[in-house]
Amino acid sequence: MSDPRHVRIGIDVGGTFTHAVALAAATGRVLGKVRVPTTHRHEQGVARGVADALRRLLAETDVAPEEAGFIAHSTTQATNALLEGDVARVGVLCLGRGAEGAKASRDTDLGVLELPTVRREVHHRYLDLGECDDPRGGMGRLARELAADGAQVLVAAEAFSVDDASGEALAMEAARAAGLLATGTHEVSGLYGLRARTRTSVVNASILPTMMAAVEATDAAVAEMGVSAPLMIVRSDGGVMTVGEVRIRPVRTLLSGPAAGVAAAVVHLGIADGVFVEVGGTSTDVSAIVDGRPRERTATVGGHRLHLQALDIETLSVAGGSMLRSGSRARIDVGPRSAHIAGLPYYCFDEAASPQVAKRVAPTAEDPREYVVLRGDGGEWAFTLTCAQRTADGLCSPRGAEIAASLLDTSPEALCEEMLRVAGRRTAEVIRRMASDAGLAGSRLRLIGGGGGCDALVPAAGRVLGLDWRRCEDAEVISAIGVARAVLRESISRNIADPTEDDLAAMRAQVIEALTRMGASPAGVEVAVEVDASAGIVTAMGTAPVELDAATPGEPLEPQHLEAAAREAMELPDGTPLRLVVEIGGLRVYQATVGRRGFLGLFGGERTPVAVVDQYGRVRLQREDASVVVSGREGIGETLGSLVDYGDHGARIPPTQAVLDGRILDLTGVPEPDQARSLLTAELDGHPGEGQIAFVRGDR
């Protein structure tokens, strides 16, 4: 490869395997892919597996280390640390004055940190700054007391540190002088609500030592191979952050692994609307994608909501490696135990397998003796969900299904069919709920499968739902592709009841500054601002490519192909006219008029579906029934006024998307036309395009 620094490398650390892919930076084309066993039990932890995967990938793709301009990996370290109780002891040092300080002290005294498998005492000290002649000395004394209590990490907490962090910064200095790691509540969230901010910071602090050790070991292993590009880590929202950022806010890597797959669904596959189901060997992740963006939610740990946004992903304990189970509750069931956890190979992938009998076993000491394994002179094998599908498709010997079926007094065909039906029904329930919550129906409800086990589980779920499904390209490494295609991301939230244009501009500037510190070019940063009027919260979300030659989906398509993409997305009957409403900065807004079926299939009026397609044929926005209004920059205020609904609630903007120069801005939830105008003005600043805006008004 002649051009240096034009390869993007993504490494996904899964429960069973670590996958690595190399992509051409300019096109996103897969240059090579490898997988190695995940090294959970190695003295270097999963870092060893990351290094092994990278070494093999470079060798097999003939990519020189210096040609890697981007390298990132997903991680399960943060999640595993919390699930397994591998957490540090934390102390909180609260600062305040008078009665307000006394309340802050109560809000920050958490007592214990409740995790799924462990309870940890959270030590607490309070310093009244109004009664302290020597604040630095007082902070140092209390930090040493917390260290004597056994705290390893100190959290500095002050009520309004999001506005002025100087007090927390002094407390963090005192902690480090006392030999403790330190973090402040202002570092993890910009929102008010001291108790939630402190709780989030305590969770962050508890995994700080583990995450620092993990990322530093991985960083060193990558550097040893001569890769000079800085190592990036996938965040819970699908973006990436630097190793330096992980050292401050490791809590942002919760759900790092599942987030990578969703990121690939959006960026690599170009999915605008649908439900993405990524099926591994041990678990399955389900997520809804709306308007080309995965849905987000507030993260929860141990039943406690945190000041932390993560992708809305539901994880199921049924997957391609789920073992056949038969017990008191169901004659034929699957999982939750997988072949990986049981330490057994899949029967269907061992051509030399010669099972003779089937037995019920307990894969681990905690399991009931209800899992069916196949035994023979050559060893033992698990009969998994993937085995059931491959047997039904004639891709492996039916001998395994016959032996398992004889134990359960059924036929091999009925056994495989029931295993798939049970797993499909369980998955379909989650898909149905997530699609409903996201407002996905009709042509917008697409089912996309990824992951090595998708061929078994996703079609089974599709049959239950009556939906067709699509297997994504390179399904088995889709998460690693998502890692390789990830972008830098930063979001800042503030409590602002009535934001002005100056407020919005200041938040945009903060996001750009944060991304610039991570290595982004300011010119490549895109920032979107959302206003949640009911909660009084404004959020600025920025993304930026790590390098200027970030991957594109290929060559721009001809107009006829773009129209065909819109027709396919809208599922238009043959011969239905399709109108190009406007083209703005590479985004084409199409609209059609179709008949609506009413009661007993009779004609029930008309609807006007809309699809927004980019120059690469990706559907960026779709509505089943919507209106489109096109405005110039100077007419924004008047156009917004025409969109407003008036009622007992006062003036509000209904669900509306603004199509700008290559971008789409969601105005849903913005209560006032003036605030919407401020958002649009801030978004248009610095973009000297034509200044046209298309407003798509229609229910989600």
- pLDDT for 689 equals 55
Q: Is there a single domain that holds both residue 75 and residue 95?
A: no
Q: Which of 520, 544, 568 is the last residue of a domain?
A: 544
Q: Is there a single domain that holds both residue 647 and residue 617?
A: yes
Does residue 4 have a pLDDT over 50? Answer: no
- pLDDT for 55 equals 92
Q: Which of the pair, 509 or 386, is modelled with greater confidence?
A: 386
Q: pLDDT tens across 565-581, in order? A: 899 888 888 788 999 99
140 — pLDDT class (breaks 50, 70, 90): very high
- pLDDT for 648 equals 60
Give the H or E element holding residue 452.
none
Does residue 551 have a pLDDT over 50? Answer: no
Residue 346 lies in a domain: yes
Mean pLDDT throughout 659-681?
77
Does residue 640 have a pLDDT over 60? Answer: yes
Q: Is there a single domain that holds both residue 687 and residue 563?
A: yes
Q: pLDDT tens across 438-468, in order? A: 999 888 899 999 988 899 999 999 999 999 9
- pLDDT for 669 equals 63
Does residue 125 have a pLDDT over 60? Answer: yes
Mean pLDDT throughout 137-159?
96
- CATH number of the domain residue 93 falls in: 3.40.50
- pLDDT for 2 equals 40
* Helix-helix angle 77-84:256-267, to 10 degrees: 150
Tell me which residue has tokens 């329930």: 429
Residue 264 lies in a domain: no
Q: Is there a single domain that holds both residue 660 and residue 595?
A: yes
Q: pLDDT tens across 491-529, in order? A: 788 888 778 778 877 888 888 888 887 767 676 677 777
Q: Is there a single domain that holds both residue 532 and residue 605?
A: no
Q: Is there a single domain that holds both residue 529 and residue 610?
A: no
Q: Is there a single domain that holds both residue 11 and residue 95?
A: no
Q: Is there a single domain that holds both residue 681 and residue 629?
A: yes
Least confident segment among 83-87, 277-281, 582-586, 691-695:
83-87
Q: Which of 380, 395, 411 is the last residue of a domain?
A: 411
- pLDDT for 414 equals 96
Residue 289 near residue 250, CB atoms below 8 Å: no
Mean pLDDT throughout 664-693?
73
Three-state SS string over 562-576 comes to: HHHHHHHHHCCCCCC
Does residue 187 have a pLDDT over 80? Answer: yes
Q: Is there a single domain that holds both residue 568 and residue 652?
A: yes
Mean pLDDT throughout 122-141?
94
Q: pLDDT tens across 289-330, in order? A: 888 778 887 776 656 667 777 778 888 889 999 999 998 777
Most confident of 69-83, 392-406, 438-452: 392-406
- pLDDT for 3 equals 47
Residue 283 lies in a domain: no
Does residue 598 have a pLDDT over 60? Answer: no
- pLDDT for 602 equals 52
Residue 118 exposed, middle or buried by CB count within 10 Å (0-12, 13-18, 19+): middle
Q: pLDDT tens across 255-268, in order? A: 787 788 887 787 77
- pLDDT for 32 equals 92
- pLDDT for 601 equals 53
Least confident segment among 273-282, 362-371, 532-541, 643-652:
643-652
Give the H or E element holding residue 534.
none
Residue 382 near residue 403, CB atoms below 8 Å: no
Whether the predicted model's global pTM rises above the 0.85 cut? no
34 — pLDDT class (breaks 50, 70, 90): very high
Mean pLDDT throughout 50-64?
91
Residue 446 lies in a domain: no
- pLDDT for 355 equals 94
Residue 672, both tokens:
């006032």
Dist. CA 296–CA 350, nearest whole Å? 41
The mean pLDDT value of the chain amounts to 85
Residue 463 lies in a domain: no
Say how far residue 409 (Cα) sits from the centre of its chain: 43
Q: Which of 411, 441, 465 is the last residue of a domain?
A: 411
> Residue 334's closest CA among 287, 281, 375?
281
Dist. CA 218–CA 234, nearest whole Å? 14
- pLDDT for 600 equals 53
Residue 239 lies in a domain: yes
Q: Is there a single domain that holds both residue 92 and residue 160?
A: yes
- pLDDT for 690 equals 55
Residue 602 lies in a domain: yes
CB atoms < 10 A from the CB of 640, how many?
25
With a CB cutoff of 8 Å and minimum separation 6, the contacts of 627 are 608, 696, 697, 698
Q: pLDDT tens across 209-221, in order? A: 988 888 888 888 8
Does residue 649 have a pLDDT over 80? Answer: no
With a CB cutoff of 8 Å and minimum separation 6, the contacts of 336 are 317, 318, 322
Dist. CA 278–CA 687, nearest whole Å? 37
Does residue 644 have a pLDDT over 60? Answer: yes
Mean pLDDT throughout 163-179?
94
Residue 574 lies in a domain: yes
Q: Is there a single domain that holds both residue 510 and residue 618?
A: no
Residue span of the structural domain in which 581 resides: 559-697
- pLDDT for 404 equals 96
> What is the number of structural domains in the chain?
5
599 — pLDDT class (breaks 50, 70, 90): low
Q: Is there a single domain that holds both residue 534 and residue 565?
A: no
